[in-house]
Amino acid sequence: MPDDLKVYASCVVAPCRPVLLFLKENGVEYSYVEINVLQNEHLTPEFLEKNPKHTLPVIEHNGIYISEAPAIINHLHDTCKIPRLSKEVQSQVDQLVSWSCEQLHWNIGFSYVYPQIYSEFALEDSVSNNKLIETGIKKICEDLDTLEKSYLHSNKSWLLGVRTTADFTVASIVVVLELVNFDFKMWPNVINWLERVRSLPGWGEVHKFHDDVVRQIREQNGSSDYF
């Protein structure tokens, strides 16, 4: 168990959740510091000293600061002495964790969901913003097709056949689509897999804020699918 592990995270930032799930799943103790991004707490001089790139999550461990969810998970693996899977499987896990926190989060978050719900992520003129969202949805459909057909085909329960960190990491990013009431019906394997991941211990606690927001959105839209 690492000494003095502090996690700086935000309940609205999706890539924070895989780190929290990883810590909970492996019983690692830590102290939690909520950074209110809506009030720009990640842009204060104190926070920029911890992470000049001002992204969340960040961990502080024995005097060093680490950002980027995949690097944090990798660091925790070693310092908490959490057993690695076979080299072959671990490389596949690392590949999916990096992909989800980079390309998938870029496509789902910054190119589709955030420009629709946060004004600071929307492009100034509405034509360009609509173009961004149109391109975003095409990439997201490709990403969901990849999950559906290349990872979750043939009744596979988990992305890599066995449950790994990749499942809750990829799922934490995919559920960001719920913030715009996205309809997953073209991807039934993804729907079933999301239900499975959602029932894992720790998921509900870590996603409480997200789930509450989604529930409110669904109530406003009169839809009760999923919950």
Ligand X SMILES: N[C@@H](CCC(=O)N[C@@H](CS)C(=O)NCC(=O)O)C(=O)O
Residue ranges in contact with ligand X by CB under 6 A: 13, 15, 37, 42, 54-57, 68-70, 101-102, 105, 109
Comparing CB distances to ligand X, the nearer of 148 and 178 is: 178
Comparing CB distances to ligand X, the nearer of 41 and 192 is: 41
Supply the minimum distance, in Å, between the C-beta of residue 222 and ligand X.
28
Comparing CB distances to ligand X, the nearer of 109 and 148 is: 109
Supply the minimum distance, in Å, between the C-beta of residue 94 and ligand X.
13
d(CA 60, CA 62): 7
- Residue 59 near residue 126, CB atoms below 8 Å: no
Comparing CB distances to ligand X, the nearer of 32 and 227 is: 32
Whether the bond between 70 and the residue before it is cis, its omega within 30 degrees of 0, is no
d(CA 171, CA 111): 18
Supply the minimum distance, in Å, between the C-beta of residue 55 and ligand X.
4
21 CB-near residues (< 8 Å, 6+ apart):
168, 169, 172, 200, 202, 203, 206
Comparing CB distances to ligand X, the nearer of 79 and 192 is: 79
91 CB-near residues (< 8 Å, 6+ apart):
none
- Residue 73 near residue 22, CB atoms below 8 Å: yes
Supply the minimum distance, in Å, between the C-beta of residue 58 and ligand X.
8
Supply the minimum distance, in Å, between the C-beta of residue 188 and ligand X.
28
Comparing CB distances to ligand X, the nearer of 9 and 159 is: 9
Supply the minimum distance, in Å, between the C-beta of residue 8 and ligand X.
10
